[in-house]
C-alpha cells in the first residue's frame, strides 16, 4: 500500500485569536482536531508561557488533551536568538546549547520533529545532529521564502546531510516558497496603506509571469520613488516562486512540510477549497511522487494582512486548508 501523507495543524495558525485571548491553547488543539487534523505542531515560544520550562502538571494536561481530541504531537518550531547579549553574537557552543534546549522541550512534549529556523548555520546543524540521533528527533531546516530548495544556503545544509549521512536532519519545505501569484490579501493591504493600484497590478502581473524579482524592483524604482510602492515591488523578492517539482529531487530528505496559507477560498471550479497564491495540487503531487509519508501542517498566516479591516477567522481558514489537503491527498 502506498504510504499516506498525514495532515496536521501548526497552532501558529491561530496566532490572532490566541494573541487576543479569544482562544486558549486547548481551544487551538480542539479547533485543529475539529478541522480533521491528526497532528499538532507548536511554536514553543508562542503558547507555552515560561518557555522552556514545562511542569509535570502541564505535561499531564498536554497528553490528556492529545488523547481527548484524538491527535498526536508532531513538531516544535525552534527559534535561535543569536543576540540575547547586546553587542555580540552567541558562540557556536552557546548556539548548540540553545538547540539542545529546544530538542529537550520537543521531547518532553512528545514531538518527533524540530523545525529549525532558517538562520541556523550548517556548522551548527553538524554539531547538533549527534544529539538529535541520540534522542531520535528529526531536525528539519525550514525552507522559507525567500529561500527555496536550491538556494545556496540550503545547498550548504544539504552538504551537511550528505557528509554525515544522517537520517535525523533534512528539509521542511514551506508553501510560501511556491507563491505562483503574490498573496492578494498582502497586496490589497499595501494598497490600503497608499500603494499605487496601477503599480500593484504591474507587480502582480510580472511576478506571475515569472520575471526575476530584482528586475521588477528595478522597474518600479523607475516608476515611483514612494517607499510604499517600492515595498510592494519587494514583495516579489520575499514571496518567491520555485518549481514545486523541485521537491522530487530531495526524496528521503523531506522530514516535514509547512502548509503555508494566506487566503483560502471556499471553492474552485472542481469544487475544492484552494489557496489563492500557492499551487497545493502541484506540491502534494510532488510529495506523493517521492512517497513522502510525514506530515503537512497547515500554517495560516493571512491574519497580519487583514486584521486592519476585519475580524480574523483563523479557524475557518484552517478548516478550508485541511479540507483541500484531504481532497488532494486522497
Partner 1 sequence: MFEKYMIVPEEARNVTENGRVTGFQFGARLPYYRGVGLSLVEDIQVKIDGEPVAPENLTVTVHGNTYTLEEMARTFEDRWEMGEVALITIRREGGLPPGEHTIDLLLNLRISYLPFPAIRKATKTIKIP
* Contacts with partner 1, residue ranges (CB under 8 A): 12, 15, 18-21, 43, 45-47, 49-51, 79-86, 117-119, 304, 307-308
Q: Which residue has the cell 501548526?
A: 10
Q: How many CA atoms lie within 13 A of 189 on its CB side?
A: 18
Q: In what order do the strands lie in the sheet with 39-43?
A: 169-173, 138-143, 113-116, 72-77, 39-43, 6-10, 295-300, 257-261
Task: Pick between residue 21 and residue 209 the one whose CB is nearest to partner 1.
Answer: 21
Task: Pick between residue 93 and residue 308 the one whose CB is nearest to partner 1.
Answer: 308
- Give me the least distance between CB of 19 and partner 1, in Å please: 4
Largest CA distance in the chain: 60
Residue 211 CA to residue 269 CA, distance in Å, equals 28
- Give me the least distance between CB of 45 and partner 1, in Å please: 4
From 42, 41, 38, select the one nearest 70 (Cα to Cα).
38
Residue 239 CA to residue 299 CA, distance in Å, equals 15
Task: Pick between residue 115 and residue 288 the one whose CB is nearest to partner 1.
Answer: 115
Task: Pick between residue 2 and residue 86 the one whose CB is nearest to partner 1.
Answer: 86
Task: Pick between residue 192 and residue 198 the one whose CB is nearest to partner 1.
Answer: 192
DSSP-derived secondary structure letter, 91: P
Task: Pick between residue 120 and residue 287 the one whose CB is nearest to partner 1.
Answer: 120
C-beta of residue 10 within 8 angstroms of C-beta of residue 41: yes
- Give me the least distance between CB of 173 and partner 1, in Å please: 17
| Cell numbers for 71 | 491527535
- Give me the least distance between CB of 155 and partner 1, in Å please: 19
Residue 122 CA to residue 101 CA, distance in Å, equals 18
- Give me the least distance between CB of 316 and partner 1, in Å please: 19
Phi (first) and psi of residue 233, to 5 degrees:
-60, -35
| Cell numbers for 44 | 514553543
- Give me the least distance between CB of 179 and partner 1, in Å please: 18
Residue 94 CA to residue 80 CA, distance in Å, equals 10
Task: Pick between residue 82 and residue 290 the one whose CB is nearest to partner 1.
Answer: 82
- Give me the least distance between CB of 86 and partner 1, in Å please: 6
Amino acid at each position: 500500500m502506498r504510504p499516506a501523507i498525514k495532515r496536521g495543524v501548526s497552532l501558529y495558525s491561530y496566532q490572532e485569536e490566541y494573541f487576543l485571548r479569544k482562544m486558549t491553547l486547548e481551544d487551538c488543539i480542539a479547533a485543529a482536531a475539529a478541522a480533521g487534523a491528526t497532528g499538532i505542531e507548536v511554536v514553543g515560544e508562542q503558547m507555552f508561557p515560561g518557555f522552556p520550562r514545562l511542569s509535570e502538571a502541564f505535561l499531564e494536561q498536554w497528553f490528556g488533551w492529545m488523547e481527548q481530541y484524538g491527535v498526536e504531537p508532531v513538531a516544535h518550531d525552534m527559534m535561535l536568538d543569536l543576540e540575547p547579549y547586546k553587542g555580540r553574537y552567541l558562540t557556536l557552543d552557546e548556539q548548540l546549547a540553545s538547540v539542545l534546549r529546544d530538542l529537550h522541550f520537543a521531547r518532553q512534549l512528545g514531538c518527533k520533529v524540530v523545525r529549525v529556523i532558517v538562520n541556523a548555520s550548517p556548522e551548527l546543524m553538524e554539531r547538533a545532529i549527534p544529539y538529535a540521533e541520540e534522542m531520535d528527533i528529526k531536525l528539519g531546516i525550514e525552507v522559507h521564502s525567500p529561500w527555496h530548495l536550491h538556494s545556496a544556503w540550503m545547498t550548504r545544509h544539504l552538504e551537511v546531510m550528505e557528509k554525515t549521512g544522517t537520517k535525523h536532519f533534512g528539509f521542511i519545505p514551506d508553501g510560501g516558497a511556491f507563491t505562483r501569484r503574490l498573496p492578494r490579501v498582502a497586496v490589497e493591504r499595501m494598497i490600503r496603506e497608499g500603494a499605487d493600484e496601477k503599480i500593484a497590478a504591474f507587480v502582480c502581473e510580472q511576478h506571475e509571469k515569472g520575471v526575476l524579482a530584482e528586475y521588477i524592483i528595478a522597474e518600479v524604482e523607475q516608476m515611483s520613488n514612494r517607499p510604499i510602492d517600492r515595498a510592494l515591488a519587494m514583495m516579489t523578492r520575499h514571496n518567491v516562486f520555485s518549481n514545486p517539482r523541485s521537491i522530487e529531487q530531495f526524496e528521503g530528505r523531506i522530514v516535514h512540510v509547512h502548509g503555508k496559507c494566506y487566503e483560502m477560498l471556499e471553492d474552485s471550479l472542481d469544487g475544492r477549497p484552494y489557496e489563492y497564491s500557492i499551487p497545493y495540487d502541484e506540491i502534494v503531487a510532488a510529495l506523493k511522487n517521492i512517497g513522502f509519508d510525514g506530515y503537512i501542517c497547515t500554517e495560516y498566516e493571512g491574519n497580519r494582512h487583514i486584521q486592519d479591516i476585519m475580524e480574523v477567522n483563523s479557524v475557518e481558514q484552517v478548516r478550508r486548508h485541511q479540507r483541500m489537503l484531504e481532497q488532494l491527498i486522497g
